[in-house]
Amino acid sequence: MTQPMLAPIESARVTPGTHDGQGHGSLRGYLVGYFVAVLLTIASFLAAQTHALTPSSVTAAITVLAIAQMLVHLIFFLHISTSPHQRTNILAFAVALLIVSMVVAGSLWIMSHLESNMMPSGQTMMPMQP
């Protein structure tokens, strides 16, 4: 008895730059991703050098541009999409993101406590004995 062939999963969500939902991108997709990444990089340098924005606005602009840059790399170069057959890639990315955020948050927490506990603020240092 032969097994019936399964129909390929049809999805409306195809990664930009790929042809027919395959895992490899086309030259056009890579070039579009490259130019968008270059434009985002130039925009972040311009935002950092401008004096028209407040320092907190510059930080917000660079943060937004960095997130956009990360999304461009994920979509155009790593071909991460929301299609059903990409589930393992999305889960692996989510776990990696969770681990990185835990390491960064834990490091900041440890450094914050070290700073507050290294030198009590109410005491002065003892003078050195000659």
pLDDT confidence bin for 65, thresholds 50/70/90: very high
Looking at the structure, do residues 19 and 53 belong to the same domain, yes or no? yes
Residue 22 lies in a domain: yes
pLDDT confidence bin for 80, thresholds 50/70/90: confident
Average pLDDT over residues 22-40: 87
How much is the pLDDT for 23? 52
Looking at the structure, do residues 88 and 72 belong to the same domain, yes or no? no
Residue 32 lies in a domain: yes
Looking at the structure, do residues 45 and 77 belong to the same domain, yes or no? yes
Looking at the structure, do residues 44 and 93 belong to the same domain, yes or no? no
Domain count, the chain: 2
pLDDT confidence bin for 36, thresholds 50/70/90: very high
C-alpha separations of 84 from 72, 76, 130 in Å:
20, 18, 74
Look at residue 1 and tell me whether its pLDDT is greater than 60: no
What is the Cα–Cα distance from 97 to 91, expressed in whole angstroms? 10
Looking at the structure, do residues 70 and 24 belong to the same domain, yes or no? yes
Domain that holds residue 42: 15-81
Residues 6+ away with beta carbon under 8 Å from 86: 80
pTM for the whole structure:
0.61
